[in-house]
Structure 1
Amino acid sequence: MAPTKAPDSSRRSDRSRRAIHDAALALVTEVGYRRTTIEGIAARAGVGKQTIYRWWPSKAAVLMDAFLDLAGRAAEDAGAGPGAGSGGTGEPAPGIPDTGDLAADLKLVLRATVDELNDPALEAPTRALTAEGIVDAKLGAEFVHKLLDPQLALYVTRLRAAQEAGDVRADVDPRIALELLIGPLMHRWLLRTLPLTHAYADEIVDYAVGGLAPRA
């Protein structure tokens, strides 16, 4: 009689984690962050509350991990690592394209960011993490470290390359300059004042690059 193969606990854990991630994202999208609870996530995922608390200290931590996992899966489906248009996963990213045309490269990336911010699957958890990070300093710091800093570093790298090529003034601080690009986009998205479109992203780039270019 062939020996019975023992269950693979690591695979079971992976399945449970994925179910919890999916449940957290689904609930935040359906009922909002405030009405999402650990109990609800556990019930939706088909696991016990103790399983969740063994891996995460709070629903905010669950959502953070779930969002990182979602971003990673989206990047895999696209056939590339997380780029500047994504929240990022802390893994190496390909960077912003450098075709020699700074404006065209930035428009490509900002358009991708617009698409992600308008994606219903990403919008709800992104808003939830952004809002909760304002009142929870620890979560806010983690949100910046894991999701924002990797993305912003890519803009700094591309703008420094543009400086070396003579397309951006030498006295420009790339870290401040990138805020001319990201700030207006996030302001419109957060306040929902006007539609977030590719045309708007293109205008932001045109205005910003015009101010960064060397003066005659």
Structure 2
Amino acid sequence: MAETRGTSGPDSARRSERSRRAIYDAALTLVGEVGYGRTTIEGIAARAGVGKQTIYRWWPSKGAVLLEAFLDLGDRAARAAGGGEAAYEIPDTGDLEADLKTVLRATVDEMNDPVYEAPSRALAAEGIADAELGAEFTRKLLEPSLRLYARRLGAAREAGAVRREIDLDVALELLVGPLAHRWLLRTLPLTHEYADAVVEYALYGLAPRP
């Protein structure tokens, strides 16, 4: 009996992990293929090769599945890029303008990547209709990203690269807000040149330079 228990536990854990990974992949793929509105728990289950009761045992809704799958996608990308928390940090080379342009250009690339764009738009839209999902989306995805900017701007303030009296929350909104606005409206292209302009306007304002 002891030998049987010793093998069934790990096997069960591996099966659960395989199922969870298949569900993540199915949710992301379906949202990209047919859109969030036409994605269903039944469709995710069929694509993943699991019963829908398995999904409902772990998540309360398709939005919750997609959020967790999207967070996992980001974690996998970070590990592939080198892993560890450092993969999430904004670089600090001592040149604030260059560092911000680097990270905003990378953000533009991610926003334009179909792998990220479809689930991002779905979660942003669903978060408005589902307050609980919206709060979780903000807490798990948006707030950690904003803290990275706050830390980098805080370091720049300590180094004298920006005024000491700036409000960090307002400053970071000047950087990330325009990209989110253009991405949501889709009225104009989201480019590296635009990201560079956002950084320059945020750092130096609109008044003529001396």
TM over 0.5: yes
Gaps of 5+ in 1: 84-92
Residues 186-214 of structure 1, C-alpha deviation per residue, up to 9 Å, x if partnerless?
Answer: 111111111111110000000001039xx
Post-superposition offset of 1:159: 0.8
Task: Pick one of 24, 27, 50 that aligns with 2:30.
Answer: 27
For residues 171 and 63 of structure 2, what CA distance do their matches in structure 1 show?
31
Specify which structure has the higher proportion of helix. Answer: 2
Scaled by the length of structure 1, the TM-score of the pair is 0.89
2:100 to 106, 118, 125: 106
Q: Distance in 1 between matches of 2:142 and 2:199?
A: 19
Structure 1 residues 81 and 199, CA, compared in 2 at 3 Å: closer, same or farther? Answer: farther
Distance 1:171 1:9, change over 3 A: same
Q: Secondary structure at the match of 1:172?
A: coil
User: Which moves more between the two structures, 127-136 or 163-172?
Assistant: 163-172
More displaced 10-residue stretch of structure 1: 160-169 or 26-35: 160-169
User: Structure 2 CA distance, aligned partners of 1:94 and 1:136?
Assistant: 28
Q: Which residue of 2 aligns with 1:207?
A: 201
Q: Which amino acid aligns with 2:109?
A: D
Indicate the residue corresponding to 2:91 in structure 1: 97
**Could you tell me how far apart the structure 2 residues matched to 1:192 and 1:60 are?**
23
Q: How many residues end up aligned between the 2 structures?
A: 203
Contact 1:71 1:82 in 2 (8 A): no
Mapping of 1:7-156 within 5 angstroms? 7=8, 8-81=11-84, 94-156=88-150
Give the drift of 1:82.
Answer: 6.2
Alignment partner, residue 194 of structure 1: 188
Q: TM-score, normalising length from structure 2?
A: 0.91
Q: Is the 8 A contact 1:111 1:198 kept in 2?
A: yes
Cα deviation 1:99-147 (Å, max 9, x = unaligned): 1111001000001101111111110000000111111111111001000
Asked whether the equivalents of residues 72 and 82 of structure 1 are also in contact (C-alpha less than 8 Å), the reply is: no
Within 2, Cα distance between the matches of 1:162 and 1:211?
17
Counting aligned pairs with the same residue, the percent is 72
| Structure 2 unaligned spans of 5+ | none
Determine the structure 1 residue equivalent to 2:175.
181
SS of the aligned residue for 2:205 comes to: helix
What's 1:86 paired with? none
